[in-house]
Chain A
């Protein structure tokens, strides 16, 4: 009899517990506190829960959880949009591309989702008044490769140097460093092809080797304007290739260091003259010839962010050096005749920058950058362009940023110096994207 009563009580209590699958109400909490106060009841609850859940697998636990059906039943990709608005208040007129004082420099539309268990796809389109719609990046990432490999196929930012891998709206400055603009393009260097990466740690710290093979390097306008007798990618040796070795160390809980080296090579169209004029036999447009251009460089990044005060304090210092190696006497096509003359870059050019940013408050950062890049003039002489810039950043939230910047630009040959005052606002909507590191 006693056993029957006990079983009935158990069953009654079990059914009551089974019904308690929703979020606990204040009354539930109070009831639970009461039962906690009574140890015997608590032990009984424990036993019943064990009986109730005994032998069930994880799926059954999940099935008991209310309100957690498919989050995305239509399998829609993540869609986000970043607006990048720039104003140029420079005293000597606008220095922005297109000459506008206020400009929507770019709207970046990003879509991303898993394709299947083996691939993830990402598409980033850049929309601007000057360029219309451009495919900034579009690649599929193979996520299920062995041996710590990762591969991408499509268009991507080339892993050359540190800042080139960051999208322009996510830069810590308004524009890319001058050396990147000069050597890789104003919007950074991108390539279309294959990207491989492997991570390893034979010495106890993080190392990553990234290698790419792309159709060609460089997105500079002059590449598009020049016409050559044969495409630069006619032979496989004319494609663009790059390699980057990243080395990363945690110096302490709060600070870390990254030292990387990059190299890239490609054949690129460079200008020629025939008989002193840009008109050559067999070419309808502006004549060019393919010459090898390579880049080597190194970059160093130091970061400090104390974990407990990380919302309010941080510091980053970064320096990058790139050397552009130019073929000085490419073979000119016989069809151009004996009077053909190569007028592309023939000297090796150096450039770099040093950047630092300190976090003043939770929302405010201050930073500065020194830029230096060599340029080659028409006479083949090298001259330095330098720039000093200072930045004040304000983040209303993680999803919007206001930047005020001043830059003093000193062009090659100490010609007319330019004072630039730039304001920038970026804002994003859509799913939370990962914080850049």
Chain B
């Protein structure tokens, strides 16, 4: 009996010690996407409480500005978003609705992650919507390049350190750990990248351009004739000709697009439709940023 009591007391003491050793989160971080969420968690560790708004299997442009998201933002210290107008259809409603001055544009808690990114497709000359649903500031799907993953981590490190200086060394160490894990993963998938390099593919949307930059795959055409514009028969006919000419054997698309049209083209060209998650959580097994890149690169290499 006495030994049982001692055991219980010991367990309680151990639990209390463990709890005491775990500091309460210092920063509430809300991110728009799961990718930013995972990298923020990697950098912030248990010094932050992080949540995300969109899901990895959802088109991040068409997120509904639900009032429940406003509650998530109300107490945020940091609101991190992809930027480049990716979230333009819903973000301002949430930020305004949150009444949280810490995350308003210009405040330290408002973190436009694209600031740290060398952006592709920055438009020059006259820009208008006859060019489709264009992003004049550049292509916002930058997280699918591991180099940009590092940049995002460093941006989080710097901003978290600015807002929580006591944790600066921890954020720095966590960032180094994240980069080390990423570097190890890159060594692991380097042979797959070598296999992908130069191979022609067709993509549904311009969202795969950064992955193409990272892996060296050659996107020879897009299912969308212009960003955000569904394909017309004439465009598809031209695309079939392009695929036959270039030998493209893969049509790459996100899980939130209807694959019927892609299947139709695949039938006529002998290509394979490859549905890849563009973000963490896009498929059940992809639970973190490195796993996302590993999965996408692995699937691509297998298909090519």
A contact residues vs B (CB 8 Å cutoff)? 21-24, 26, 29-30, 32-33, 36-37, 39, 42-43, 46, 49-50, 53, 56-58, 61-62, 65-68, 71, 114, 117, 120, 141, 143-145, 148-150, 199, 201, 205-206, 208, 246, 248, 250, 253, 256, 258, 303, 305, 307-312, 362-363, 397-399, 429, 431-432, 434-435, 437
**Is there an interface contact between B158 and A56, defined as CB atoms closer than 8 Å?**
yes
Residue of B whose beta carbon sits closest to that of A207: B67
Please report the C-alpha to C-alpha distance between residue A366 and residue B194 in the assembled complex, in whole angstroms. 49
Contacts of B183 in A (CB 8 A): 39, 42-43, 46
Contacts of A253 in B (CB 8 A): 55
User: Given that A29-B214, A435-B65, A437-B64 are known contacts, is A148 also in contact with B74, CB under 8 Å in the complex?
Assistant: yes
Min C-beta distance of A427 to chain B, whole Å = 10
Min C-beta distance of B151 to chain A, whole Å = 7
**Is there an interface contact between A33 and B194, defined as CB atoms closer than 8 Å?**
yes
Min C-beta distance of A255 to chain B, whole Å = 11
B contact residues vs A (CB 8 Å cutoff)? 55, 57-59, 62, 64-68, 70-71, 74, 85, 88-93, 96-97, 99, 101, 104-106, 114-120, 122, 129, 133, 137-138, 147, 150-151, 154-155, 158-159, 161-162, 176, 179-180, 183, 186-187, 190-191, 193-194, 197, 213-216, 228-230, 255-258
Min C-beta distance of A153 to chain B, whole Å = 16
- 13 residue pairs from A and B, CB less than 8 Å apart: A29-B214, A30-B216, A53-B154, A62-B116, A65-B118, A68-B137, A114-B105, A117-B106, A199-B97, A206-B68, A250-B66, A250-B68, A432-B85
Besides A50-B176, A71-B137, 11 other A-B contacts (C-beta < 8 A): A29-B213, A32-B147, A46-B183, A57-B161, A58-B116, A143-B96, A150-B99, A311-B62, A363-B230, A434-B90, A435-B62
**Is there an interface contact between A435 and B64, defined as CB atoms closer than 8 Å?**
yes
Contacts of B150 in A (CB 8 A): 49
Contacts of A67 in B (CB 8 A): 119, 122, 138
Majority secondary structure of chain B interface residues (helix, strand, loop or mixed): helix
Contacts of A205 in B (CB 8 A): 68
Min C-beta distance of B286 to chain A, whole Å = 14
Residue of B whose beta carbon sits closest to that of A361: B258
Contacts of A312 in B (CB 8 A): 258
Min C-beta distance of A55 to chain B, whole Å = 10
User: Given that A37-B194, A303-B64, A311-B257 are known contacts, is A143 also in contact with B119, CB under 8 Å in the complex?
Assistant: no
Please report the C-alpha to C-alpha distance between residue A22 and residue B117 in the assembled complex, in whole angstroms. 10
